[in-house]
Each structure stands twice: as structure tokens, then as C-alpha cells.
Amino acid sequence: MNERQCQTCGAAIDLNATECKYCGESIAVQQPQQYQQPQYQ
């Protein structure tokens, strides 16, 4: 199971969680960044 820590209470939560199940704090889900090729001039 992939986990990270809640920034508010430090509990282990699921990577895709939108709310901490322990303290109820909203968690921002990070979207994967799309690769952008450099623009050459």
C-alpha cells in the first residue's frame, strides 16, 4: 500500500486520499506533471 504522511497530524494516509481519516484535514492530491519539451528558437 502506498502511503504518505498527513501534513497536519502526521498519520499515514493513502496517496490518493483527499481527506485525512484521522484528523479530517483536507489533503491536496498532486496530479502528475506532463512532460513539456523545451522550445528551441
pLDDT of residue 2: 84
Residue 22 Rama label (left phi>0; alpha psi -120 to 50; beta)? alpha
Residue 13 CB coordination number (10 Å): 21
* Digitized pLDDT (tens) for each residue of the chain, 41 residues in all: 688 999 999 999 998 899 999 999 998 766 555 666 777 76
